Structure 1
Amino acid sequence: MELLWELAGWAGAVAILSAYLAVSMGWLKAGKGFQTANLFGSVAFIINGTLHSAWPSVVTNVAWFLISAVALVRMREVEAPAQAVEAHVQYPGVPDSTGQMAIIEALTEALPVVGSVTTAADARLAA
């Protein structure tokens, strides 16, 4: 049984170090895969550290586990579909029935032009 816990500790080390290497080298984004590897790795280290009475390691990995767990929960919340919000559209010349004042501008007037791309059609029109 002790061999199983030793293997768990080594598996945790491989999971955490592999995830860290992959993110550091740009092979993986620091997303779900990274956080999941850290979560499982920290659990393995907690088990291994507890059996060896390595309490500083256990405390560190409990914190590591909690950080990964909170990150995964937050990622899930972001992915959850937002509830539909009914948009109010105010058309020019139509009285506002909501009691709010609405000003509508054309999108092209509201956004500054940073740069433009000349196409073949534009070149022919300019000539």
Structure 2
Amino acid sequence: MNTHDSTEKFRIDKWLFAARFFKTRSLAADAIGRGRVYLNEVRIKPAKLVAVGDMLNIRIGHDHYEIEILALSNKRGSASLAQQLYCETEASRQRREIMAAQFKMQPESFYSKGRPTKRDRREIEYFKTKT
């Protein structure tokens, strides 16, 4: 973790990769380009520099994170080190827990397991021919 100087800045895509929000730096840059990451409520580009104290809004799938940058790093480390780079707001954490509970209560889709098996296809064909 690099915290040498409070004026030191790093690229947002490198920081998101180091903070373990995305598996690769290119995925982070792609999410930024698609407008899924906002810095201080402003849409940005992957080369934007971040500083300590900046607020980020990140959407990853159904999850929405509101975080404050506490430290800067451009090297990916362990998960425990990555969690020290930011602080998630309490409202964001509660909203994600509510969304997780709602998704858990939804019934599982028939096709959520992937491609149907041979037996599933036969049952589908059976129902199609009966109606």
- TM-score norm. by structure 1 comes to 0.26
Q: Which structure shows the bigger proportion of residues in helix conformation?
A: 1
**Structure showing greater relative contact order (alpha-carbon pairs closer than 8 Å, 6 or more residues apart):** 2
Q: Which structure shows the bigger proportion of residues in strand conformation?
A: 2
Q: Tell which structure's C-alpha radius of gyration is larger.
A: 1
